[in-house]
């Protein structure tokens, strides 16, 4: 067990923005929620699954919706407690800890704020170690764990509990409810035991996220060799440096979709196209995919190294494009069917960006 | 208390088809379900609210979806018990009786079949004494009773429980789930006490429906004065006799919508246009509304007097158009806002068809 204090939160949020690969909602709001919760109730208690009883119930909480809407609709906080309370009541069992379903984006931070408010520890693990736009896109699904029963709640008193025969059906039911409830609600899914988290979770992801954020801060401070340290720690590669020459974003069917085109800073004949569905999914150069899901595709401000969310992208920005391998826990049977390019409707194969360094 | 036996069911189903005003799903399937249930478990026990304890819990069950799909997708039966079981578990209270939410269409019969299977009585009351396409369109809403908590279930194990701050929000959430679950599922909504039913329900609607069906059977048998008896019992008027010269049906946003145009059998210069949204809503003659919701607009075969469902309408059919006043319980503050023409998107006023006799 270790404590997460207010001093840790800026690094955690910066790391979450990078691992959010443009989506997962802007962590800024989550940062405010966590800092307020810690100021009110004291530090967050970060625990390992081994610190908890094997049969203990672990619940998750997150914001679900379109990042473009989440940015505009500040969470009340009550929707997270309402969703967890509803699911706990439905299960007839209170949680021993909370967990982030995705470490990447605002949903890294929301469960920490909620755990602090509820006086529960937060487990240092998650189901993605990045952000993905759909509920079924977790390593838990690869382990056969069910996303339902799950709850959806807003801050007005609307609430849904779903049972679903597949995680894809859970996604469809939850998404339909989210659209009806204004595109940004809480979700509590994948109710698990501590044993499930031990077996199936991506361990240490909150710590990893904080360490990533610490290295980003070092780059910002101009520390010698800081860029290389980030690349080494994450095993990442800088695949492109360019200027935004075209950008297209739209919110359809509950998702923020879009395309960004970059022109290379040193060679104007080279362009890179980044495809977005809430998160940055695939980078193409000359029509050829060079980075694909489930690996991480991160856009950072060329000067400040600030990770860019989809909503903050603008014409003329100069960006570095970073490719980062997904967590090793993803490499299991069924990974590409679940989170490879075809799972997002692209008729292309997964490419290992490290072949392009 | 009286028993409903297999011999009562044909009349009940015929009445339900007429009161379904073209929608509410074809009662044929419901008839089979009830007859099977009675054959397996014995007669249904039809009770008055006064036969039950004031604080007893009353649950409803129904099919929700598009009639065009309901016709194709025969219910398994298990979805009704699953939905009631889920809601009872959520409420922490077992029902003392079931009730039909609408007496009109298949949903007149489904709760009777389910009550027989569960060994529960069925209350001789409902919330519409006709069929309406949306959950909030009940006299219960006019009394301030809530549609949620409600449950949605299919026969595969998918299940939803919703809490909603308004009955309109309950409709929106349920409809979105129904679309995801294939357009025909069970719904259990308006969990009430027996006292609520006494105060707010339309009493005697199952008996009324059976009596309507009995009169239809007499017309079919060619009994003297049978047509007049039906008109007298229901206070109805025959407003048009015509031939179908145009018909347009489509399933959109979870509803079956359409238009039917009739040419008068004796005066080809007269045409009547009937607007459909699951049910027959409004009849226009020369662009002027002559029958409007919430009054009932029924199409019957000209020769056999068989009530026609929307799906069974076809080009060239000769039909009688019957207008029937809605149950007097509808005439309360808020009726027209909830179920008048404007509630269905028509910018016209309610007309009393009896001004046109």
pLDDT for residue A55 is more than 90: yes
Residues of chain B with C-beta less than 8 angstroms from the C-beta of A169: 158, 180
Share of chain B above pLDDT 70, in %: 96
Residues of chain B with C-beta less than 8 angstroms from the C-beta of A85: none
List, for residues A126-153, the tens digit of each pLDDT value.
999 999 988 999 999 999 999 999 999 9
Note the pLDDT of residue B250. Answer: 83
Average pLDDT of chain B is 93
Tokens of B258: 């359409």
Minimum-distance CB partner of B176 among A156, A159, A177: A177
CB contact (8 A) between residue A160 and residue B156? no
List, for residues B331-346, the tens digit of each pLDDT value.
999 999 999 999 999 9
CA A164 to chain B, closest CA, distance in angstroms equals 4
List, for residues B8-48, the tens digit of each pLDDT value.
999 999 999 999 999 887 788 899 999 999 999 999 999 99
CB contact (8 A) between residue A180 and residue B172? yes
Minimum-distance CB partner of A157 among B86, B165, B177: B165
Do residues A88 and A56 make contact, with C-beta atoms less than 8 angstroms apart?
Answer: no
List, for residues B202-259, the tens digit of each pLDDT value.
999 999 999 999 999 999 999 999 999 999 999 999 999 999 999 998 877 666 789 9
Q: How far apart are CA B324 and CA B296, in angstroms?
A: 5
The three-class DSSP label of residue B271 is strand
The length of chain B is 357
Q: How confident is the model at residue B111 (pLDDT cuts 50, 70, 90)?
A: very high
Share of chain B above pLDDT 90, in %: 84
- DSSP for B58-86, written as a single string: EEE-EEEE-HHHHTTS---SHHHHHHHHH
Do residues B209 and B12 make contact, with C-beta atoms less than 8 angstroms apart?
Answer: yes
Average pLDDT of chain A is 93
Q: How far apart are the first and last CA of chain B?
A: 39
pLDDT for residue A298 is more than 50: yes
Span B76-105, mean pLDDT?
A: 94
CA A161 to chain B, closest CA, distance in angstroms equals 5
Span B134-143, mean pLDDT?
A: 96
Query: What are the backbone dihedrals phi and psi of residue A341, each rounded to the nearest 5 degrees, phi first?
Result: -55, -40
Q: How confident is the model at residue A253 (pLDDT cuts 50, 70, 90)?
A: low
Note the pLDDT of residue B72. Answer: 64
Smallest CA–CA distance from B157 into chain A, residue: A165
Span A253-265, mean pLDDT?
A: 86
CB contact (8 A) between residue B163 and residue A160? yes
Span A218-239, mean pLDDT?
A: 94
ipTM: 0.78
Share of chain A above pLDDT 90, in %: 84
Minimum-distance CB partner of A176 among B158, B163, B176: B176
Note the pLDDT of residue A357. Answer: 44
Q: Which runs of consecutive H residues, i.e. helices, occur in chain B?
A: 6-19, 27-41, 67-70, 78-91, 110-118, 139-142, 167-180, 194-200, 205-220, 226-234, 335-339
- pTM here? 0.84
Q: How far apart are CA B270 and CA B285, in angstroms?
A: 7
Note the pLDDT of residue B74. Answer: 73
List, for residues B47-57, the tens digit of each pLDDT value.
999 999 999 99
Residues of chain A with C-beta less than 8 angstroms from the C-beta of B179: 176
Residues of chain B with C-beta less than 8 angstroms from the C-beta of A173: 158, 160, 177, 180-181
CB contact (8 A) between residue B179 and residue A177? no
pLDDT for residue A70 is more than 80: no
List, for residues A6-25, the tens digit of each pLDDT value.
999 999 999 999 999 998 87
Q: How confident is the model at residue A311 (pLDDT cuts 50, 70, 90)?
A: confident
Sign of the dihedral through C-alpha A298, A304, A306, A311: negative
pLDDT for residue A5 is more than 50: yes
Count the Cβ atoms, other than its own, within 10 Å of residue A165: 14
Helices and strands, number each (H, E), in chain B = 11, 19
Q: How far apart are CA A147 and CA A166, in angstroms?
A: 8
Minimum-distance CB partner of B163 among A158, A162, A180: A158
Alpha carbon dihedral A40, A43, A48, A51, in 10-degree steps, equals -80
Q: How confident is the model at residue A85 (pLDDT cuts 50, 70, 90)?
A: very high
Higher-scoring residue by pLDDT: A309, B71: A309
Note the pLDDT of residue A77. Answer: 82
Q: How confident is the model at residue A183 (pLDDT cuts 50, 70, 90)?
A: confident
Note the pLDDT of residue B87. Answer: 95
Residues of chain B with C-beta less than 8 angstroms from the C-beta of A163: 86, 157-160
Do residues B201 and B49 make contact, with C-beta atoms less than 8 angstroms apart?
Answer: yes
Tokens of A353: 């960006």
């Amino acid at each position: 067990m270790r404590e997460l204090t207010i001093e840790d939160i800026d690094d955690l949020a910066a790391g979450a923005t990078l691992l959010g690969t443009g989506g997962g909602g802007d962590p800024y709001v989550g940062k405010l929620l966590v800092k307020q919760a810690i100021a009110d109730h004291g530090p967050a208690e970060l625990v390992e699954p081994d610190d908890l009883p094997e049969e203990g119930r672990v619940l998750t909480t997150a914001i679900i919706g379109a990042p473009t809407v989440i940015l505009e609709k500040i969470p009340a906080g009550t929707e997270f407690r309402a969703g967890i309370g509803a699911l706990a009541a439905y299960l007839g069992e209170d949680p021993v800890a909370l967990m982030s379903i995705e470490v990447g984006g605002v949903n890294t931070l929301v469960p920490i704020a909620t755990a602090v408010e509820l006086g529960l520890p937060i487990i240092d693990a998650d189901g993605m170690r990045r952000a993905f736009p759909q509920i079924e896109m977790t390593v838990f699904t690869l382990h056969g764990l069910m996303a339902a029963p799950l709850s959806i709640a807003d801050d007005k008193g609307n609430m849904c509990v779903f049972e679903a025969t597949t995680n894809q059906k859970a996604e469809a039911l939850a998404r339909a409810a989210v659209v009806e409830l204004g595109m940004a609600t809480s979700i509590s899914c994948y109710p698990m035991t501590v044993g499930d988290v031990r077996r199936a979770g991506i361990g240490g992801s909150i710590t990893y996220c904080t360490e990533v954020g610490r290295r980003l801060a070092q780059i910002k401070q101009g520390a010698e060799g800081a860029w290389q340290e980030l690349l080494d720690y994450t095993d990442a590669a800088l695949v492109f440096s360019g200027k935004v020459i075209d950008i297209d974003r739209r919110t359809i069917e509950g998702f923020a979709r879009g395309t960004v085109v970059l022109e290379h800073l040193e060679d104007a004949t080279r362009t890179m196209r980044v495809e977005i569905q809430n998160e940055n999914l695939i980078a193409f150069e000359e029509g050829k995919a060079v980075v694909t899901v489930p690996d991480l595709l991160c856009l950072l401000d060329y000067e400040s190294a600030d990770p860019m969310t989809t909503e903050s992208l603008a014409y003329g920005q100069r960006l570095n494009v970073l490719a980062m391998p997904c967590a090793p826990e993803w490499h299991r049977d069924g990974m590409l069917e679940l989170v490879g390019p075809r799972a997002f409707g692209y008729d292309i194969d997964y490419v290992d960006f490290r072949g392009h360094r």
